[in-house]
Structure 1
Amino acid sequence: MMLVRPLLLAALLAFAGAAEAATHRFVAMAGGEKVGHLVAEVDGRTAKIDFAINNNGRGPKAREQITVDASGAPVSWAIAGSSLFGSPVRETFSRQDGVAQWVSQADQGEAQVSGPALYVPNDGSPWALGQYVKALLKAPGQTLPALPSGTMRLQEVRKITLGEGASAVKLTVYELSGVDLTPSYVLVDARGDMFGVLGGGLIREGYEAHLDALTTLAQEISLDRAKAAQAKLAHRFDAPVRIRNVRVFDPETMTRGPLSAVVVFGDRITSVQPETDGPAPEGQVVIDGQGGTLMPGLHDMHSHTSLSSNLFYLAAGVTATRDQGNDNERLLAMVEGLESGELAGPRIVRNGFLEGRSPYSARHGFIPESLEEGLENVRWYADHGYWQIKIYNSMNPDWVGPLAAEARRLGMGVTGHVPAFSSPDRVLMDGYDDIAHINQLMLGWILDPEEDTRTPLRLTGMARAADLDLNSDRVVSTVRYMRENGKALDTTAMILERLMLSRSGRVHPADAPYFDHVPVAYQRYRKRSFVTLGEGQYETDAAYQAGFGKVLEVLKLLDDNNVQLLPGTDDGTGFSVHRELEVYVKAGISPAKTLRLATLDAERYFGRDHELGSIARGKLADLILVEGDPTTDISDIRQVRMTMVGGVVYYPAEIYDHLNVKPFAAPPPVTPAR
């Protein structure tokens, strides 16, 4: 009997372990199409994960193994694979005897831990979100310390039933927050297992038909959150608002004037006068600019707008964006909310996304299967008030001309990438008003015509830019054509700088001004590589550094040739707009000219400069108050104290507090009307 009991116990334990073994399968979706998978093999407290995304010719790929303790907190974690553009990933974490240790792309370190703590990986899969929910549900107050730093919080948002009858699934939506710029929303079933990620396109395999319902749910939750933020953060005044003791930046003359007072009533500027020492008239709200710079709001000419990015834009002083591709219905609903005042955010100029069908397709807007279908898509965009169409990488080059002609017939403009196997000269002659991304222009001068820019080559190919001769016939002829025909460039130079020059474990100088202000997950995300060094003749650090140096030369060349530059980011944090302007100055463009490009010239491009883009009586009150003088030091643009959109006031310090970001500048003193 003494021998039987251990054998029986071992058999029972083996049976229990087998009972816990399970396979969890998820599908990653974008634009209604499958773009990846996540498969987790769970055996007891250990999970082995296979995760891969392939969307727009890129995506992370990882194999993970995670082991957790009885609290649900990880005790070991290993990740191997590649990041967004293929940079290799090897990340490990362990917790033993009260000591946690980790090594990632971003950093390596250790910390003393006295209880459960949740490691935030630099390159993990969404599987971790479900594990965090399990651990936080067991934790006091549903809060746990995060590693390397910070605190993770869990809050139940709502309960739902997905489907009907025998196939119905009861789910709970949880909000995870505290360690990143925006919260995550995780769906969990009655057993406590992850069912999907709202807004992330990840759903349990077999339930893809319910994705539209979950997308609608995600939008409802995001809208509720955004409306609450608007109610909390927007300051509206019934009385005239006098912004006094400010120096007004005039983008026409590119100068900063003497101390002045600017009065706003409703959504319009009603007066711009020299400052006086006397008291303000009765019945006016007074905002003391304390000698700062009052200037028109900034523009991001390449955005992909979201409800969360709207707040980041306002905090950065951005009052208008050009949306270069989005979910069409969601964008229309967002614009309606902005125009009604229910939502906070900049003015949005909508561009309609058109992509071709290929294994590398991006899932935004429309992907027509034929030219006739593409022409119908153009008409849909025109009927819904879009300003331009945007053509993308996989579009058939022979369709560009007819699509552009139809857009022009309907009163729209044309922008976009240079489709693979086409050229900048061809798309400009086919009807583009501007090219999106400076690398899309330069690759036409660098690559061989048969090389495929639908792949990460559209980034890695820029390592060859150092050898580009800017006096060559092909460069000179393209620049001449752009100048003589009024063609523009949507630059997004800062995103190219980030992708080419970010290095594992280092804080790039572009990120240093805000790095200590943001949560730990975003800090770690910024300390990563996007390119793989050491593979081939060009893929060296020196080649990428020299290649970006050539980007700066091209910016200056285009500006010297009076080719309009459209400052854009392809990002949504707001910080990136400031960096884009710093890059212009680094290229040799004056700070004052850079500010004009980001304000009045952008509105001239939109054809709205009679209403926006400068500070003058009768114009719409889209203004920002900046501490310091960005006409002499462009980096002062990071110190935004107040943003006004259509007369509604926002204080970036309040917005950043709301977003779990340490503020950069204090609000100005405000005296209520008397």
Structure 2
Amino acid sequence: MVRRIGLWSLGILGVLGLAGSLGFWMLFPPDVAVPPSSDRMIAGVTIWNPGEPSQPDQTIIVKDGRIAEIRPSRPDDDPPICPGCIVMPGLIDAHVHTPPQAAIGNQRLFSLLYLKYGVTSVRDLGQTDDSIADLQAEIAAGRIAGPRMYRCGPVLDGERPSWPSALRIVDGAQAIGAVKTLKASGASCIKTYTGLPKEAFSAAATEARRQGLPLVGHTPHAVNLRDVSDFEVQHFNGIPYLHKPPPEDADYRSQDVSAMSEVDIAEVIALMKANRISILPTQANQKARLTASDRKRFPPTEGLRHLPSFWEQAWPMIVAHPESAEAVAADLDGIAAEVAFVGKARLAGIDVLAGTDVVMPYVVPGESLHLQLAMLSQAFGGDEAALAAATQVNGRHVDRGMVGRIAVGNFADLLILRKGSRPDLAAVRDWQFLTVGGRMYPRAQIDAAVESYDQHFRGAYYETVMNGLVSILASGFSREESH
């Protein structure tokens, strides 16, 4: 998959002058009120950490955005805001990409949509431009409504980077310097990519370990999975290729996963367990991409109505989609094989994370995580195990001991579900209150904000200007691709 989002974002920046005469400022969405961070008592609730027994009639005391105390409720506690309701950790999407600033207003839109779907933490795994650190700071300061944000910064790639924003790393010395620089800039992880040379990958892994940063990403083509340890594999990069070279023109192929025998699968899983390799699959991303292949057979999800329509012009510039019936069938077979694989991996004790690859075609922020969790539920045999992936498992990898679990000392990033709710995916999607670091959002506030954003981003002015700009860029992109 060749990522080109940086190319079209730079192109939009180059032609934004066209929008100036029309009122550039009118393209920006209205501000969403962000509640102040305040200490609070959440009394008379049932605490539920997915994968653990529930604890009824509890009180959670929040101070400075963190959980200061958990104890049985008492008669003199504050009146419950939701008597008898269930409180669980907020969801974590461990694999997103944030739109560039050139997609005017979309950083705020994506941040709001995460909250709508109960996502209280995201991890950006490869920035589209340098504005992502500023967005992280704005959300943390309470100036933008959004989830807690973690980021790797730019990915480490090889001689010919797939992302325009990626770092070109050709040797070990460059890799070490890049890891140190990223650590100093506030990155919380290091992401490697397919073209990274073997020497550079090894040096990056060693330096990341020294800096206390998890190593995640694509297994480089130059590196066999046998030579990898303490690594979080994104998608299925490297997994089908223990005994054969990976494809030169793709990260990995769906048919190569489908072709793995039971012996192959057992060998890979044993290797992953021995070398402490986890996996973050994104089948919802793969399935969503098929909308571009056959819209009637694979209709867009309900959440697409929240995104500006220019994305449907932009996505073909980011990544291709299967075009033939045979290619679609191969992808569907591959998705089924991947779902079966991660089910076996989890049973073997391997961490399977939940992520979506947001910004890929038809992958809607927040909603896509629920679609991925439905697939993990199928793989794991139930919603609770899938929700544990999006909370406790993701939390261990994104910010161990701080997110993903309701416990004293952790951030107060919580979902409050209706009284009597069955704790499943449907109930989680219907949350009533959400807190991020002590900021509490009632459901009605988020719904009203999303409706306001729908009117802005699907309004005639925004659509006319942004669709026009992206059309110009897409036309130039099509001519470039034809040569």
Same fold (TM over 0.5): yes
Q: What's 2:432 paired with?
A: 641
- 1:530-609 pair list within 5 angstroms: 530-534=321-325, 539-571=326-358, 573-606=365-398, 608-609=400-401
Whether the 8 Å CA contact 2:93–2:355 is kept in 1: the answer is yes
Residue 422 of structure 1 aligns to a residue whose secondary structure is coil
Deviates more, 1:587-596 or 1:612-621: 612-621
Whether the 8 Å CA contact 1:356–1:395 is kept in 2: the answer is yes
Q: What's 2:141 paired with?
A: 340
- Which whole-Å deviations, capped at 9, do the CAs of 1:365-396 have from their partners, x for residues lacking one? 42135443332212211323423221111112
Rounded Cα–Cα distance in structure 2 between residues aligned with 1:533 and 1:630: 44
How many residues were matched structurally?
432
Q: What's 1:468 paired with?
A: 260
- Matched-pair identity in %: 21
Whether the 8 Å CA contact 1:443–1:458 is kept in 2: the answer is no
Rounded Cα–Cα distance in structure 2 between residues aligned with 1:622 and 1:585: 23
- Which whole-Å deviations, capped at 9, do the CAs of 1:588-609 have from their partners, x for residues lacking one? 3422122222112222234532
Rounded Cα–Cα distance in structure 1 between residues aligned with 2:306 and 2:164: 33
Residue 373 of structure 1 aligns to a residue whose secondary structure is helix
Whether the 8 Å CA contact 2:254–2:334 is kept in 1: the answer is yes
- 1:117-266 pair list within 5 angstroms: 156-157=23-24, 175=27, 229=31, 232-236=32-36, 238=38, 240-244=39-43, 246-251=45-50, 253=52, 255-258=53-56, 260-266=58-64
Alpha-carbon distance change, 529 to 394 in structure 1, aligned in 2, over 3 angstroms: closer
Residue 506 of structure 1 aligns to a residue whose secondary structure is coil
Q: What's 2:478 paired with?
A: none
Rounded Cα–Cα distance in structure 1 between residues aligned with 2:293 and 2:420: 32
Residue 380 of structure 2 aligns to a residue whose secondary structure is coil
Q: What's 2:450 paired with?
A: 656
Bigger helix fraction: 2
Name the aligned partner's letter for residue 373 of structure 1.
Q
Rounded Cα–Cα distance in structure 1 between residues aligned with 2:263 and 2:76: 60
Alpha-carbon distance change, 520 to 367 in structure 1, aligned in 2, over 3 angstroms: closer
Residue 24 of structure 2 aligns to a residue whose secondary structure is strand
Are residues 1:288 and 2:82 paired? yes
**Tell me, which stretches of 5 or more residues in structure 2 are unaligned?**
100-106, 360-364, 457-483
Whether the 8 Å CA contact 1:504–1:529 is kept in 2: the answer is no
In the TM superposition, what is the alpha-carbon distance from 1:249 to its structure 2 partner? 1.2
Residue 157 of structure 1 aligns to a residue whose secondary structure is helix
Are residues 1:268 and 2:60 paired? no
Whether the 8 Å CA contact 1:393–1:419 is kept in 2: the answer is yes
Q: What's 1:498 paired with?
A: 288
What's the TM-score, normalizing by structure 2? 0.76
In the TM superposition, what is the alpha-carbon distance from 1:643 to its structure 2 partner? 1.9
- Which whole-Å deviations, capped at 9, do the CAs of 1:459-516 have from their partners, x for residues lacking one? 6x203433321323xx32321122123221122232123235764223747x545356
Rounded Cα–Cα distance in structure 2 between residues aligned with 1:595 and 1:488: 17
Whether the 8 Å CA contact 1:268–1:621 is kept in 2: the answer is yes
- Which whole-Å deviations, capped at 9, do the CAs of 1:279-309 have from their partners, x for residues lacking one? 864xx7x5226x5432111111112235332
Rounded Cα–Cα distance in structure 2 between residues aligned with 1:628 and 1:464: 46
Are residues 1:436 and 2:226 paired? no
Alpha-carbon distance change, 589 to 361 in structure 1, aligned in 2, over 3 angstroms: same
Rounded Cα–Cα distance in structure 1 between residues aligned with 2:338 and 2:432: 32
Residue 568 of structure 1 aligns to a residue whose secondary structure is coil
In the TM superposition, what is the alpha-carbon distance from 1:274 to its structure 2 partner? 5.2
Name the aligned partner's letter for residue 485 of structure 1.
N
Q: What's 2:245 paired with?
A: 449
Rounded Cα–Cα distance in structure 1 between residues aligned with 2:378 and 2:196: 34
Rounded Cα–Cα distance in structure 1 between residues aligned with 2:308 and 2:419: 27
Whether the 8 Å CA contact 1:518–1:661 is kept in 2: the answer is no
Are residues 1:313 and 2:114 paired? yes
Are residues 1:303 and 2:96 paired? yes
Deviates more, 1:567-576 or 1:336-345: 336-345
Alpha-carbon distance change, 642 to 294 in structure 1, aligned in 2, over 3 angstroms: same
Q: What's 2:184 paired with?
A: 383
Q: Which structure is richer in relative contact order (CA contacts within 8 A, separation 6 or more)?
A: 2
- Which whole-Å deviations, capped at 9, do the CAs of 1:295-334 have from their partners, x for residues lacking one? 1111111122353322222222222222211157423323
What's the TM-score, normalizing by structure 1? 0.56
Are residues 1:514 and 2:311 paired? no
Rounded Cα–Cα distance in structure 2 between residues aligned with 1:630 and 1:599: 18
Whether the 8 Å CA contact 1:591–1:630 is kept in 2: the answer is no
Are residues 1:480 and 2:270 paired? yes
In the TM superposition, what is the alpha-carbon distance from 1:361 to its structure 2 partner? 2.5
Q: What's 1:68 paired with?
A: none
In the TM superposition, what is the alpha-carbon distance from 1:246 to its structure 2 partner? 4.0
Residue 195 of structure 2 aligns to a residue whose secondary structure is coil
In the TM superposition, what is the alpha-carbon distance from 1:259 to its structure 2 partner? 5.1
**Tell me, which stretches of 5 or more residues in structure 1 are unaligned?**
1-55, 61-83, 85-124, 138-154, 159-173, 176-182, 184-224, 663-674
Alpha-carbon distance change, 526 to 661 in structure 1, aligned in 2, over 3 angstroms: farther
Name the aligned partner's letter for residue 36 of structure 2.
R
In the TM superposition, what is the alpha-carbon distance from 1:356 to its structure 2 partner? 0.9
Rounded Cα–Cα distance in structure 2 between residues aligned with 1:131 and 1:619: 46
Whether the 8 Å CA contact 2:91–2:121 is kept in 1: the answer is yes
In the TM superposition, what is the alpha-carbon distance from 1:130 to its structure 2 partner? 8.8
In the TM superposition, what is the alpha-carbon distance from 1:582 to its structure 2 partner? 1.1
In the TM superposition, what is the alpha-carbon distance from 1:260 to its structure 2 partner? 4.5
Name the aligned partner's letter for residue 608 of structure 1.
R
Q: What's 2:165 paired with?
A: 364
Whether the 8 Å CA contact 1:622–1:644 is kept in 2: the answer is yes
Whether the 8 Å CA contact 2:171–2:199 is kept in 1: the answer is no
Alpha-carbon distance change, 371 to 623 in structure 1, aligned in 2, over 3 angstroms: same
Rounded Cα–Cα distance in structure 2 between residues aligned with 1:630 and 1:571: 29
- Which whole-Å deviations, capped at 9, do the CAs of 1:403-442 have from their partners, x for residues lacking one? 222222333332221223433223x1xx4521111x3144
Rounded Cα–Cα distance in structure 2 between residues aligned with 1:643 and 1:451: 44
Whether the 8 Å CA contact 1:591–1:631 is kept in 2: the answer is no
Residue 263 of structure 2 aligns to a residue whose secondary structure is coil
Rounded Cα–Cα distance in structure 1 between residues aligned with 2:156 and 2:451: 38
Rounded Cα–Cα distance in structure 1 between residues aligned with 2:71 and 2:312: 44
When the two chains are superposed, the root-mean-square deviation of aligned CA atoms in Å is: 3.8
Q: 133, 136, 157: which is aligned to 1:355?
A: 157
Rounded Cα–Cα distance in structure 1 between residues aligned with 2:450 and 2:382: 29
- Which whole-Å deviations, capped at 9, do the CAs of 1:38-97 have from their partners, x for residues lacking one? xxxxxxxxxxxxxxxxxx73659xxxxxxxxxxxxxxxxxxxxxxx9xxxxxxxxxxxxx
Name the aligned partner's letter for residue 23 of structure 2.
E
Alpha-carbon distance change, 607 to 270 in structure 1, aligned in 2, over 3 angstroms: closer
